Amino acid sequence: MSTPGWTTEKPTALLVLADGTVIEGKGIGATGRTQAEVCFNTALTGYQEILTDPSYLGQIVTFTFPHIGNIGANDEDIEDLTPAARRGAVGVIFKADITDPSNYRSAKHLDAWLKARGVIGMAGIDTRALTAWIREHGAPNAVIAHDPNGDFDIEALKAEAKAWSGLEGLDLAKEATSGQSSQWTEKPWVWNEGYSELDAADAKHHVVCLDFGVKRNILRLFAGLDCKVTVLPATATAEDVLAQKPDGVFLSNGPGDPAATGEYAVPVIRNLIDTGIPMFGICLGHQMLGLAVGAKTEKMHQGHHGANHPVKDHTTGKVEIVSMNHGFAVDAKSLPADVEETHVSLFDGTNCGLRIKGKPVFSVQHHPEASPGPQDSHYLFRRFVNLINEKKGEPALAER
């Protein structure tokens, strides 16, 4: 893999892969070092939303778009539910240096924002070469290190990278979850108006969200459809959920290995399926629903990360461009006969959706809430609300 020629300037950041490869760069963001998996994201916009997506916990995000940071950072474009805990990507890699922000919504320089969140980063490397390497060899375990003086023990960093066990078998949902019960009423952002709140008197349905690392925009879209949302921690029991008397249950996105999180979450999901309550899952929630119905999950070679992925909805025959962020997938061949595959990736044919025949239960692998990304899949939230309406005997919403 090619690396930039730092012949006249001492490197202040290193990316050390588990195979011993050392990539030099310019340090940005927080100082220190951390072990993580390296992935690449092909989105052209939304870097702040990407870096605060809890599904990226345990990962270093390489942006394929070369110019990151030119619109700065603000307090609105964050996706983790409890930003003070800084759940999201632990490292970041850019091609170009961060420029001064030029946007009316900017409140802080991205470098300062990365420092405040404790995200270690590096710039000045050939991100296309790194992306090509990942596509060929798979997402590597690595250590990213930033020292303003450029003082590194390279052999020690190589040993750390090699020793890290990786994401397989790792339950990160307990770190990503907000860890406590809360209510959500904020509705989607509107141009020149910002966010508004759902009035309690306007709430038509009550949705309980099992928070494995939920994104804010998911909860906003529920509120925008007049759903009051109660957020429960990842370790909540079926009894905890049912005590809320929900009209529907949502299984959220999140990081880590679904099989590891599923050790405590899958029995809960199975119990909830048996109640007949409408259920909707996204990302990690989709994977664990797959496990709950008897399917298997598998680690992907490089994962799907970006906002330009084509997915076909078999229920409508339409192709959507969607936002993706996952490194594990449900093995479609392992789905039982009473479960239908509803969505499939047109990039590699991997499973992107399922539903249980005869039950009001479905899920998707991609991120229909976008943020960032296209809004082609927003209809899925209406599809879920319509399952609730059907159970209540109320009129259906138009899906699109």
Burial class (CB in 10 A: 0-12, 13-18, 19+), 104: exposed
Secondary structure (H, E, C), 18-55: CCCCEEEEEEEEECEEEEEEEEEECCCCCHHHHHCCHH
Rounded distance between C-alpha atoms, residue 353 and residue 137, angstroms: 27
Residue 254 is which amino acid? G
* CA end-to-end distance (rounded Å), the chain: 46
Secondary structure (H, E, C), 46-89: CHHHHHCCHHHCCEEEEECCCCCCCCCECCCCCCECCHHHCCCC
Adjacent-strand bridge partners of 325: 305
Choice among 37, 175, 320, 369 that is catalytic: 369
Please give the full DSSP string across 251-270, using - where no structure is assigned: E----S-HHHHHHHHHHHHH
369 is catalytic: yes
The pair of three-digit structure tokens given for residue 382, joined into one six-digit string: 């209406």
Rounded distance between C-alpha atoms, residue 353 and residue 101, angstroms: 39
Cα 299 versus chain centre, distance: 16
Choice among 146, 305, 309, 367 that is catalytic: 367
Whose tokens are 């070092």? That residue is 33
Choice among 24, 283, 304, 352 that is catalytic: 283
283 is catalytic: yes
Rounded distance between C-alpha atoms, residue 112 and residue 73, angstroms: 9
Q: Are 278 and 394 in contact, with CB atoms under 8 Å apart?
A: no
Q: Are 331 and 296 in contact, with CB atoms under 8 Å apart?
A: yes
**H helices within 103-226, ranges in order?**
110-117, 127-137, 154-163, 173-176, 216-224
The pair of three-digit structure tokens given for residue 107, joined into one six-digit string: 């409140």
Q: Which residues are catalytic?
A: 283, 367, 369
